[in-house]
Structure 1
Amino acid sequence: MTLITAGCTMPTFAPEGADEPARPGGAVSSVGSPAQWTPCPDVPEGLVGRAASGMTYECASVAVPQDWAAPNSGETYEIELLRIRSKKQKNRIGSLLLNPGGPGASGIDTAVYLSFGQAQGGLPTEVTDRFDIVGFDPRGVGRSSPVKCISDKDQDASFGADPDPASSTDFNEVAALNKRIAENCAKRYGPRLPTFSTEQAARDLDALRSAVGDPKLTYLGYSYGTLLGATYAQLFPQNVRALVLDGAVDPTENYVQGSEAQAKGFERAFTNFTEWCSQTPAKCPIAPDARGAVTDALAKAEASPVRGADGRDATPGWIFLGLISSLYTESGWASLAAAIDDLQGGDASGVFALADQYADRKPDGSYTNLFDANLAVNCADTDDAPSVEEIRRLQSEWRTKYPLFGATLAVGMLPCSFWTGKRDPYPTGPATGAPPILVVGTTGDPATPYENTADLAKMLGVGQVLTWEGEGHTAYPSTPCIRQAVDGYLIDLELPQEGLRCPAR
């Protein structure tokens, strides 16, 4: 399964026992018509058990063409939106539309989490007092005509598979699984597969801007959401008010380059984790040799995996998934150390908790459509996927360059190599005519490496870089320095000082 997901800054959600989240309800608007909002307090109640104090929640749906190249075909997708408004709102500027990344993560869920305020990691009141916060699930994601073509059994097999199948027999087994997944998606969606591309979603975003009544778009995009925002800026530069692109994807990289950049980024983040273990052994039970402990756990799991409480074996694949999950935030480092320490003692619960959080696997063994959508979008966007033979070669090369992550990120490219759907790659040029766009990067980001930040800003031609010298994936609203810089841009359209670098704490 591809690991280029990069954007799950918040957990995603689906009701227990359901294949997909339920539509919030309400009337469906057509393109060009105002959104018809309906109160939906059940959405935050379903996610976290309550609404945020002082906030109202309303839902709407906008029908968009399945293919913007044929807008009058009559075939549509329904894009679901959630509007959150502070009861203390004054001097309203407009709407702030959110995308948390993935591709495949739910903007509706993310908007709910961010509505709980700065003290709980949410948006500052300076922003919520001036904007309606609008989360949306892009086409194919969550509640918006979701893609669902990978069985729970195949999801388990994919995540549990050997992350670095060295022998030809093992590699061919993993390749066959990925081929079956790709073929199942082709059987279910066929000619619709290219309609899940990023460019199609960017055209939806302009329809949503119109539906919420904004003459120009104000947007906060994390990780893959930076690619969606950058594509929007190229297609509709005249409709941009302010875009914050946090955790930059570099659209100019080809598929292989992007995967190698992630291997390098995760390797660097893991090294930072091991150094933290050495410096704070009281917080890291696998110190002083954390790298040795993790590699030893992977090797032992290949020969004799620990059995989890639900009957799953903690294979190297599940351990590796837990490792990836824990590196997305610095706060995950302690959880990783504890999980590996517990695994050494015969308890796999910590590993599975980390892995399931990343995979969006529910306690009953079912999955949301996060990775179905991730696969559909990534492969629709990719017209340069390497051949199986090239992946096999890169697996060996990257294993040497990036010992823990290289081979696995090479193997992770297999799904798009088997993808039979037509491709619809996104544009990779300047946003000529757009106002300045703020591009935020984190020096210790594993999933969207810091080097991407300047590359995206340069490609757009109107980008300005803001740097956070911190750890983990994405920066806003982590520290006062980052918050003040981003808030000033969103509210007053004032760019931070050029070259500003915010300290980790």
Structure 2
Amino acid sequence: MLRITATAVALLTGLLAVPSASLASPASPTSTVTPTNPPAHPCAAATQRCEGRIRVPLDWGDPASERIEVAFAWVPRKGATSTVLANPGGPLPALPLLPVLERTVDRQNLLVVEPRGLGASSPLDCPGLDLNRPESIAACAAHLGPRSRFFTTDQAVADMDAVRKALGLPKVTFYGISYGTLFAQAYAARFPDSTAGVFLDSLVPVGRNGYAIEPIRARTDLLELTCRSSRDCAATWSALVRRLRDRQDPAISMLTLQSLLPRLHEPVFGRELNAAATAYLRGDPLPLRRLAKAADAAPVPPLRGPGFAGMLSYKCGDAAFPFGRKATTAERERRLSRFYDKKRPMRPFTVAELGGTTGWADWCLHWPTPRDNPPVPRRAGHPDVPTATVAGDYDTHTPAEVARYFPHGELLRVIGGGHSTTLGVDCARQALRSFLARAGELPRSCDVSSHRALVAFPRTAEDLPDAGDLDRRVVAGFATASDALVRRDPGSASYRRLTEESGLRGGRLAFDDKAATIRLEDVRFVSDLPVSGQVVLNPDRTATARLTVGGAEVVLSWPAFRPLDPVPVSGSFDGRPFTARIPVR
């Protein structure tokens, strides 16, 4: 059965149901994309949000081709002197995310065009489509026929420029997120005279052939960001895979283990994964099994539904894979198999251990791509306009990779950041707003880290870090409370779905997010000191805990969700006040 990576899970969670699309006769192959000049749209005179549609050619290279409808939303702002053309990525329906984009782009005029084949723009529809069943992908392609080859980025950006013309807008600044950055690059290259600037969040890179680069890799490189010694970390991870290959653990499949890597941007996983791997190899499986259980409990969107047809059309038509675009399915399978055998892109895993697929490359084996349609024309240069990119350390493509594609643009590195940071990280959102307002240079980086990675998991109180003369029960209480609190870090999406969890070595945690409280019942973070009581997250982002630890009363207060080591802690032990700095390990 095909499985999907954790990175793709975040993307597909937003997939929305779309209405059926009517099928029409095939159109002729495309040539140069040159939008015509449509008449002014009624929305051009709007003073408040206006949603509309225009009719465009199925094939912009053939003026006589079938007409399809493209939907858009126009949000004029009083006093605005510039317009932002935004796409939130996916490729998914864009209009449902209009309220989010309106809050993010809050001072400029905003234009959102629904990409063709998705949502309200002549959606492609394949009843019974299931990515777990390759035959249903092939059946979908046959059902849609040759017209589906025009539901790709080169055609979609021509639709976007047609909407711009219909609204009488001279130029736009393209703000693209994730797959929206591919639309942005294609638009700027194909319509440079209509482009005032480009802002890219979470880049989809484009190769020299003009096609998107669809990464096929296990992302073990992300471990370097959380490991105190990347060489030791890589060796530890390889040894862990070998151990699980030789001695299978029913609680940790290879698929689950690999799915932990894209979650490293979440504080719990980033804080604990390397230490948990080390502990496993030293005979302590509990920390890694706990992470695996949380990952397995996270909801996974179903890989079936008619709306995947539009996504397949873009992802398969816009990208370069290790097989030819015009190759038969059998030849594609042979070439992809040779690629896996030679390059071993998922090392230290094998593709077979991961269910026999790496994602889109395998799904696109069964999707015909006979048209030569690079999103960015070959040898096209980037227009000489202001350009900025935002890249999170834990994103699909790291800041170092992004810098290679836009060496003259501004680059903001979000330290500890993941994907689509402008939608949820204040410093990234402020960078976007500064760029749109042309308010000086962007900062080179912003740090959103909320934790320090653990080096080891203690088994007993004797293994806890040395905190001077502080009683070990205080150190154990703090270690247990902070271990519980990190599971409510706002960035820990997988854990915040859990309402309760077993303690690492016994006992029970109960999470009450409404009351910002965690209850501990005989929780054993270390095996020889049970902890009961509660942890409270205060509005000022400090945490307080009232605990019973090994028969002693411990009260603690410390700054929450900050990457501190050691951590300043104050409180009392059996009624005696103390202040201390407790190391993180």
Q: TM-score surpassing 0.5?
A: yes
212 and 470 in structure 1: CA distance in 2 versus 1, 3 angstrom threshold: farther
What is the CA distance between 1:206 and its match in structure 2? Answer: 0.8
Q: Does 1:20 align with 2:12?
A: no
Q: Is the 8 A contact 2:251 2:289 kept in 1?
A: no
CA distance in 1, matches of 2:40, 2:269: 45
CA distance in 1, matches of 2:297, 2:365: 29
Counterpart in 2 of 1:490? Answer: 436
Counterpart in 2 of 1:76? Answer: 67
Matches within 5 A, 1:92-491: 92-102=80-90, 104-115=91-102, 117=103, 123=104, 127-128=105-106, 130-149=107-126, 151=128, 154-155=130-131, 158=132, 177-178=133-134, 180-252=135-207, 258-259=213-214, 261-263=215-217, 266-269=219-222, 272=225, 319=256, 323=260, 326=263, 330=266, 333=269, 351=296, 353-356=298-301, 361=302, 367=305, 369=307, 371-382=308-319, 385-386=322-323, 387-399=332-344, 402-404=347-349, 410=358, 412-423=360-371, 424-426=373-375, 427-431=377-381, 433-445=383-395, 447-458=396-407, 463-476=409-422, 479=425, 481-491=427-437
What is the CA distance between 1:239 and its match in structure 2? Answer: 0.6
CA deviation profile, 1:374-423 (whole Å, cap 9, x unmatched): 32112222465423223223334555763258775656412333333413
CA deviation profile, 1:158-210 (whole Å, cap 9, x unmatched): 2xxxxxxxxxxxxxxxxxx43x2442132112211220121111111211222
The one-letter amino acid paired with 1:496 is: E
Q: Please give the secondary structure, in 2, of the residue aligned with 1:226.
A: helix
98 and 400 in structure 1: CA distance in 2 versus 1, 3 angstrom threshold: closer
In structure 2, which of residues 442, 445, 450 is the aligned counterpart of residue 502 of structure 1? 445
In structure 1, which of residues 32, 36, 49 is the aligned counterpart of residue 38 of structure 2? 32
Q: Is the 8 A contact 1:82 1:134 kept in 2?
A: yes
The one-letter amino acid paired with 1:112 is: P
199 and 112 in structure 1: CA distance in 2 versus 1, 3 angstrom threshold: same
CA distance in 1, matches of 2:163, 2:180: 15
What is the CA distance between 1:147 and its match in structure 2? Answer: 2.1
Segments of structure 1 that go 5 or more residues without pairing to the other structure are 24-29, 39-54, 118-122, 159-176, 276-289, 307-314
Q: Is the 8 A contact 2:84 2:173 kept in 1?
A: yes
417 and 34 in structure 1: CA distance in 2 versus 1, 3 angstrom threshold: same
Q: Please give the secondary structure, in 2, of the residue aligned with 1:444.
A: coil
The one-letter amino acid paired with 2:428 is: I
CA deviation profile, 1:412-443 (whole Å, cap 9, x unmatched): 41233333341322224344554222233223
CA deviation profile, 1:249-278 (whole Å, cap 9, x unmatched): 22116799934x4515x3233565688xxx
Q: Is the 8 A contact 1:140 1:146 kept in 2?
A: yes
Q: Is the 8 A contact 1:35 1:212 kept in 2?
A: yes
The one-letter amino acid paired with 1:372 is: A
Q: Please give the secondary structure, in 2, of the residue aligned with 1:472.
A: coil
CA distance in 2, matches of 1:191, 1:418: 14
CA distance in 1, matches of 2:15, 2:220: 29
Counterpart in 1 of 2:473? Answer: none
Q: Is the 8 A contact 1:193 1:380 kept in 2?
A: no
207 and 466 in structure 1: CA distance in 2 versus 1, 3 angstrom threshold: same
Which structure shows the higher strand fraction? 2
In structure 2, which of residues 37, 56, 60 is the aligned counterpart of residue 64 of structure 1? 56
Segments of structure 2 that go 5 or more residues without pairing to the other structure are 22-35, 229-235, 274-284, 324-331, 449-585
Q: Please give the secondary structure, in 2, of the residue aligned with 1:151.
A: coil
333 and 491 in structure 1: CA distance in 2 versus 1, 3 angstrom threshold: same
Q: Is the 8 A contact 1:221 1:244 kept in 2?
A: yes
Q: Please give the secondary structure, in 1, of the residue aligned with 2:122.
A: coil
Counterpart in 2 of 1:279? Answer: none
The one-letter amino acid paired with 2:114 is: D
The one-letter amino acid paired with 1:20 is: V
CA deviation profile, 1:218-257 (whole Å, cap 9, x unmatched): 2210122111111111111111112101112221167999
What is the CA distance between 1:81 and its match in structure 2? Answer: 1.8
11 and 93 in structure 1: CA distance in 2 versus 1, 3 angstrom threshold: farther
What is the CA distance between 1:487 and its match in structure 2? Answer: 1.7
229 and 488 in structure 1: CA distance in 2 versus 1, 3 angstrom threshold: same
CA deviation profile, 1:101-134 (whole Å, cap 9, x unmatched): 22x222212222344x4xxxxx1xxx41x22333
Q: Please give the secondary structure, in 1, of the residue aligned with 2:149.
A: helix
Q: Is the 8 A contact 1:182 1:420 kept in 2?
A: no
465 and 258 in structure 1: CA distance in 2 versus 1, 3 angstrom threshold: same
CA distance in 1, matches of 2:74, 2:261: 32
Structure with the greater relative contact order (CA < 8 A, sep ≥ 6): 1 or 2? 1
Q: Please give the secondary structure, in 2, of the residue aligned with 1:416.
A: helix
Matches within 5 A, 1:86-97: 89-97=77-85
**Identical amino acids, percent of aligned pairs:** 24
TM-score (norm 2): 0.57
57 and 472 in structure 1: CA distance in 2 versus 1, 3 angstrom threshold: same
189 and 22 in structure 1: CA distance in 2 versus 1, 3 angstrom threshold: closer
